[in-house]
Amino acid sequence: MKEIVVVSGKGGAGKSTITAGLSYFLKENDILVDADVDAPNLKILLEPELIREEDFYSGKQFKIEQDFCIMCGRCYQECSFEAIEIVNLNYVIDDVACEGCGLCQFLCPVNAISVSDKLTGKKYVSKTKYGFNMVHALLNPSEENSGKLVAEIKKIAKNLAKEQNSSTIIVDGPPGIGCSTISAISGSDILLLVAESTISGLHDMERLIELTKNFKVKRKGFINKFGLNHSIDEKLVNLFESKEIEIVGYLTYSQNIPQYLKKRVNLPEHIDGYKKLFEGLYNRLMEAVG
């Protein structure tokens, strides 16, 4: 079983469009993972039907039990994050501001503060319109630990792949170079680094190449919106060459692409030219991964 992870140093570089295009060539028993747990969007193109869902717990949730609180105000005075406020003459904890340090619970003289695991998101397995299963997730707004959630859905994907005898897992990585991206990359066989032909695209690709250089994983390059800025095109080609990263594909800039995506068209599905492009890209990645 081989795992391909598609990453870009930033959001909006076209990573999900490229992943959706590649997924068109997966077999029914293969697996797709949408690891952009803050803003998953592969479902827009792949129209998945939910098979199962699980809760994701991360961190602790502290709560003042009003029946026991004697209103001494100690927690309110000592919380360094100003996460305790007075509402309707009661002390209450603001879940968004609370950092979960536990100091208030430690200080409370009457044990009026309870703690429980915090529900911060959901994990899903769905069947896509192409027949293969997709593992995805959604982290609640403002919650942390996206790296842990990515690790959990990758584990679900790997177990499912074993059950289904899959040969390939494709992962749509999170944008940026944070811990969720590191989590998506860990344990993979090959990375497709998707760069956008813009100044910020070049800058973010430099950072992503730096981040990924110490992972023992093969790297291939891809340039999206090629032709949008000839000077940046050239710099991206030189950047990949200087780091000995082979460029395995280009998607030429076209004003039609946003229109197709707006209509929820997966590029290789209805357009012959794109079908050939993505088929070639898929085959080159398969050859590279061995």
92 lies in the site for ligand SF4, by CB under 6 A: no
Ordered strands of the 133-139 beta sheet: 49-64, 113-127, 133-139, 31-34, 168-172, 2-7, 190-196, 218-226, 246-252
Binding residue (CB under 6 A) for ligand SF4 from 104, 135, 153, 190 = 104
Q: What are phi and psi of 43, to 5 degrees?
A: -60, -25
Query: In whole angstroms, what is the distance from residue 231 CA to residue 175 CA?
Result: 24
64 lies in the site for ligand SF4, by CB under 6 A: yes
102, 78 Cβ separation under 8 angstroms: no
Kindly report the CA angle at 144 between 99 and 146, in degrees rounded to 5?
A: 160
83 lies in the site for ligand SF4, by CB under 6 A: yes
Looking at 74-82, 183-191, 207-215, 222-230, which segment touches ligand SF4 (CB under 6 A)?
74-82
Least Cβ distance, residue 109 to ligand SF4 (angstroms)? 6
Residue with smaller CB distance to ligand SF4, 82 or 241: 82
Least Cβ distance, residue 68 to ligand SF4 (angstroms)? 7
44 lies in the site for ligand SF4, by CB under 6 A: no
Binding residue (CB under 6 A) for ligand SF4 from 20, 46, 75, 192 = 75
225, 196 Cβ separation under 8 angstroms: yes
Query: In whole angstroms, what is the distance from residue 125 CA to residue 49 CA?
Result: 9
Instruction: Map tokens 């869902």 to a residue.
Output: 53
Looking at 15-23, 47-55, 104-112, 190-198, which segment touches ligand SF4 (CB under 6 A)?
104-112
Instruction: Map tokens 């290789």 to a residue.
Output: 268
102 lies in the site for ligand SF4, by CB under 6 A: yes
Residue with smaller CB distance to ligand SF4, 84 or 202: 84
Q: Which residues bind ligand SF4 (CB under 6 A)?
A: 62, 64, 69-75, 79, 81, 83-84, 91, 93, 98-104, 107-108, 110, 112-113
